[in-house]
Structure 1
Amino acid sequence: MASEKISEYSRVRLISHNDADGITAAAVMCHALLREDIVFHASIVSRLDENVVETVNNSTDNGDLVLFCDMGSGQPELIEKVKNDTIIIDHHAPVGETTAYVMVNPHLADIDGAYYMCASTTAYVVATEMNPENKELAGLAIAGAIGDKQLFDRENGLILKEGIESGSVSIRKGLKIGDGELAEVLERTPEPYLDITGEKEKIANFLNILGISGPIEELDENQMKKLTSAVALKLTKKASPEAIDASIGEVCILNHEAIPNVYDMVTLLNCCGKLERGGLALTACLRDKKAAEEGWKLAEQYQKVLMGQIKKAEKKVQKRQHLRYIQGEDMEATGMIAGVVIRYIHPDLPFIALNKVDDVVKISGRGTRKLVDSGLDLAVALREAASGVGGNGGGHNIASGAAIPPGSEEEFLEALDTIIAKQMGNNADEN
């Protein structure tokens, strides 16, 4: 239904989220719209709020379709204010009744959008229904799923298989990191986060002991096995079990894209998104090599900033009974920081990052699959705790976000700790 409805329009106003999944979802739809000669105006935003709705209403004509990607399912009160026909392509758990003409969401088909379909793979399904030639966009869809730390079982797995069969994606086994000189990649790459990450001398000693050097993409099978075994040994000491799966295995090579290594592509998209250069990232996904080169330079610089932020955050972690958290002002990429902490440093409790930016405190919450299996639902927990202090929140059970007023942090954390305790079957008074 969504594909048919989109094809009825000559102009589309597209809004999508500024992370790797949101940007690739937008890119998949932009490619599909271009193929159908449909004019579009795309914007990449950090979140859906009143300002975005106002911008959309002021920049659309009566006959335009408004298409939201990677957002909208949890904000029916905002979607209702959009004056034009609206379609939502999203994977966050729907909340309430929507006024959107169509909502395409895996949850509506009993598919868990936190694990088995993201916004980009959902957009890929819509795009291939619009035109079978859009199957060549599988690489972009896979990049979004990897950016959202999803599993490649079920629906995502089928799309990966389709991408391999069509030649859009190739597979290389090894360490799941970007390409380049191994020592330099390990120094700047925050995932996997090891006891040597960001430490030039320690990395040199590590590689010297292994007897490995050179570009990672040129390592032979034995060298790669030696490297992955050594990394796995480091991870088993502290990281969550899923961190090993996320760090070692199959590396996707995107054969049609301007950035072939999927981890380099995800890095570019996330970094450009955080630097408010979502348009540049989207252009790179539209296979513009100059945009990709510019985006990669920004990403390399930003990774150094991010590494410093993670090192600082590691020292500032505080603990309550049922969660760990950090508080700060104008921190960079709190979602990435929270993800690194929960996977590689403190996987036993949910992790919350509170970041005061201007007149709002932005919240990033992360869990693990093990915690979710124990009852954790961060989407519900953050939404309830935030609404209790005059804020809002939502997302996935394993990864979610919120925004609250400055000064309400303590009340928010108290409420959140209690909610998480109930979710996971704990008594809040227990040690």
Structure 2
Amino acid sequence: MNLEDGNITESRNQMDLLFNKAKDKILGAEDVTIYTHTDCDGITAGSILSSILDKLEIDHEVNFVEINQVDTLTSDTDLTIVSDLGAGQDISNLANNSNKSVIVLDHHPPIRRLGTQLKGDLIEINPNYYGLDGSYTISGGGLSYLLAKSFHFYDLSWMGILSAVGDMQNSMTGKLRGLNKEILHDSTEVGCVDYINDLLLYGRNTRPLFVALSYFGDIHLPLTNNRNECIHFLEGLDIPVKNELGTVRYLCDLSMDEKSRLFSELLKMMTREVPDRYIKYLPKLISGESYEFTFEQDYTSFKDASEYSTVINACGRNNRHELGMEVIKGNRHLIEDELQSLVKQHKRYLAQNMSRVLEEGSVEILDNIQYFDGDGIKPSVVGTIAGMLLNNYDWQKPIVGYTHVNGENEGYKVSLRCSKLLGYDGIHYGNIVRKISEKCGGSGGGHSVACGAYIPEDNIGQFIDLLNNAVKL
């Protein structure tokens, strides 16, 4: 056992005591309110918790909320569970009633000290309290699964993998680490997940190989957005674009020899495009573990965990969180047509708005960041579009998009995305954004390479200036 494994085991034992307390609270509850985040991790976390309560035949309701809504949440039930948020927000409204119990299952950096007491009974389970980085150790849905595991509901383990991949927990190394490995072990033991080492091209089962290659990475390459060049590139490697029947081939159709040749050439190409200090990290951005759900059909969006997570994110981004939960909980047959229509509309919306930003030249380049005013873009997808724009601009600077939010607290939803390679510089952009948003009268946070904030109407210029000054590349 290495040092990291030893630390994880010790931390896991400490957390297990809290999971058992949470289990007792659930068994003693007559009705439960669940509040969970709106992205894939949050929707999956809520689905796991709802599945636990279904199995126990406990009345409950699931509510999907944004980070900036947490401090105003209330609950009338005797138990409230908050998943994939709450650690970085004020939960006193929920936990200051002495007759109520609150369980917080979150993996984001906490603002409260371990053991903080409020008027109500609070159980807060967060890996960061035990020296484990929640950016890659475990997701919100992973914590919900570990709670399910305390009930011996191992059949829900595949959902923990979906959460982890949807939360990009494997993005820095190409594979799941930390407590995620425990969940992966459980899911393979019960036979619901397989994993192999593969090229990290998105769309293993659904995108023709040359199309997947044109979208590869967040660094601009000669292949980027150039399908004809991708076809020529593959032909030069003696990798057929179509099979003997004339049908296009997908990544999952390639032999190991073909994948090896493709890996070598991508590595050479990327090596020419990045500073020397990043070269050692390139192999794990090109190749890594791919996770498949054994109970799903081949060549569908549900076979591969990464593609499945996109479907759930599409539900969340379009304010159809309950649709995503129905998919995860096994009721897809009831909403198949509606789901397909939503995913198509989502992809079309993203493509149209990305093209508009590019055509209008909306991205402004500063010393340390680049940003765009996404006026008219839905707040739920401005981060997705920012990520899609990365390989069209300077990948060595984070890109920030913001768009107007209407409602009771008008202002701006801000999203930051950056190349995975910048994560190796040791800068945690989520922590930076959280601190700066507070200075601007807002709130925010997130992971090292993907984060966001809500900023008051008049302070967006201040936020951009402070962020540009805070980022030293």
Q: CA deviation at 1:396?
A: 3.2
3-state secondary structure, aligned to 1:101: strand
The code of the aligned residue for 2:22 comes to: A
Could you tell me which residue of structure 1 aligns to residue 400 of structure 2?
352
Measured on the aligned residues, the alpha-carbon RMSD in Å equals: 3.2
Separation in 1, partners of 2:225, 2:60: 41
- Whether 2:282 is the aligned partner of 1:253: answer no
**Identical pairs, percent:** 23
Could you tell me which residue of structure 2 aligns to residue 68 of structure 1?
82
Separation in 1, partners of 2:195, 2:222: 28
Q: Is the 8 A contact 1:350 1:367 kept in 2?
A: yes
Could you tell me which residue of structure 1 aligns to residue 192 of structure 2?
168
Which of residues 380, 385, 388 is equivalent to 1:337?
385
Q: Is the 8 A contact 1:372 1:398 kept in 2?
A: yes
Alignment of 1:390-409 (within 5 A): 390-409=441-460
Could you tell me which residue of structure 2 aligns to residue 40 of structure 1?
60
Alignment of 1:288-327 (within 5 A): 288-290=331-333, 291=335, 294-313=338-357, 315-327=361-373
- Whether 2:349 is the aligned partner of 1:285: answer no
Alignment of 1:83-98 (within 5 A): 84-96=100-112
The code of the aligned residue for 1:111 comes to: L
Change (3 A) 1:233 1:345: farther
- Whether 2:240 is the aligned partner of 1:211: answer yes
Moved more, 242-251 or 329-338: 242-251
The code of the aligned residue for 1:299 comes to: V
Q: Give CA deviations for 1:104-155 in whole Å, capped at 9, x if unaligned.
A: 11111211001211111111111101x21x2222221111111121131222
The code of the aligned residue for 2:27 comes to: S
Separation in 2, partners of 1:127, 1:162: 12
Could you tell me which residue of structure 1 aligns to residue 178 of structure 2?
154
Q: CA deviation at 1:316?
A: 3.4
Which of residues 352, 375, 379 is equivalent to 2:430?
379
3-state secondary structure, aligned to 2:133: coil
Could you tell me which residue of structure 2 aligns to residue 428 of structure 1?
none
Q: Is the 8 A contact 1:188 1:304 kept in 2?
A: no
Q: CA deviation at 1:286?
A: 0.3
Q: CA deviation at 1:204?
A: 4.7
The code of the aligned residue for 1:224 comes to: K
Q: Is the 8 A contact 1:139 1:255 kept in 2?
A: no
Alignment of 1:351-370 (within 5 A): 351-358=399-406, 359-367=410-418
Q: Is the 8 A contact 1:68 1:86 kept in 2?
A: yes
Q: CA deviation at 1:77?
A: 4.8
Could you tell me which residue of structure 1 aligns to residue 212 of structure 2?
186
Separation in 2, partners of 1:112, 1:368: 19
Q: Is the 8 A contact 2:68 2:443 kept in 1?
A: no
3-state secondary structure, aligned to 1:149: coil
Separation in 1, partners of 2:181, 2:157: 11
Q: Is the 8 A contact 1:168 1:254 kept in 2?
A: yes
Could you tell me which residue of structure 2 aligns to residue 273 of structure 1?
316
Separation in 2, partners of 1:262, 1:345: 28
Q: Give CA deviations for 1:243-286 in whole Å, capped at 9, x if unaligned.
A: 76355332211124682211221110111110111110111010
Change (3 A) 1:377 1:284: same
Separation in 2, partners of 1:66, 1:117: 22
Q: Is the 8 A contact 1:251 1:261 kept in 2?
A: yes
3-state secondary structure, aligned to 1:12: strand
The code of the aligned residue for 1:104 comes to: I
Moved more, 223-232 or 120-129: 223-232
Q: Is the 8 A contact 1:117 1:155 kept in 2?
A: yes
The code of the aligned residue for 1:96 comes to: R
- Whether 2:255 is the aligned partner of 1:220: answer yes
3-state secondary structure, aligned to 2:402: strand
3-state secondary structure, aligned to 1:316: coil
Change (3 A) 1:292 1:28: farther
Change (3 A) 1:298 1:235: farther
Q: CA deviation at 1:233?
A: 4.7
Q: Give CA deviations for 1:390-426 in whole Å, capped at 9, x if unaligned.
A: 22222234432111122322211122223334xx7xx
Q: Give CA deviations for 1:176-216 in whole Å, capped at 9, x if unaligned.
A: 32312515863996867765555554555455554223342
Change (3 A) 1:30 1:244: farther
Q: Give CA deviations for 1:10-53 in whole Å, capped at 9, x if unaligned.
A: 32111111111111111222222222222221122333416961
Q: CA deviation at 1:311?
A: 4.7
Which of residues 11, 23, 39 is equivalent to 2:43?
23
The code of the aligned residue for 1:138 comes to: S
Separation in 1, partners of 2:195, 2:425: 33
Separation in 1, partners of 2:125, 2:234: 47
Separation in 1, partners of 2:89, 2:253: 47
- Whether 2:152 is the aligned partner of 1:113: answer no
Could you tell me which residue of structure 2 aligns to residue 264 of structure 1?
307
Change (3 A) 1:226 1:304: farther
- Whether 2:146 is the aligned partner of 1:125: answer yes
The code of the aligned residue for 1:337 comes to: I
Q: Give CA deviations for 1:301-357 in whole Å, capped at 9, x if unaligned.
A: 422432344455465332323322222213252222334455885342333222223
The code of the aligned residue for 2:137 comes to: Y
- Whether 2:30 is the aligned partner of 1:10: answer yes
The code of the aligned residue for 2:397 comes to: L
Mark the runs of 5 or more structure 1 residues left unpaired by the alignment.
425-431
The aligned length equals 414
